[in-house]
Amino acid sequence: MASHLAANRLILVDEQIIYTDLTPTRLEKELAEMQTPVSNDLIRQWMDEQRLRPRIIRG
């Protein structure tokens, strides 16, 4: 997962929230391809706990 996540960008806009271009659905798909299936709901819960918010990031 680290190699896939390293290619994506994280943007700190607020000191409390980090925005990422990773979506729960994309994470679910990539983890399943890595033989580590995780439900979309669990990913959303984890993202919430980590204060990660999906957002379209334009270069």
Q: How many domains does the chain have?
A: 1
Tell me the mean pLDDT in the region 42-51.
90
Structural domain contains residue 25:
yes
Q: Which domain holds residue 9?
A: 2-54
> Is residue 28 within 8 Å of residue 38, measured between CB atoms?
yes
Residue 59 lies in a domain: no
Classify residue 7: in a domain, yes or no: yes
Confirm whether pTM is higher than 0.85: no
For residue 38, the model assigns a pLDDT of: 93
Strand 17-20, strand 52-54: pairing:
parallel
The three-point CA angle 24-26-30 to 5° equals 115
Q: Considering the domain boundaries, does residue 17 fall inside one? A: yes
Give 12-44 pLDDT, tens digit per residue: 556 677 778 888 998 899 899 999 999 999 999
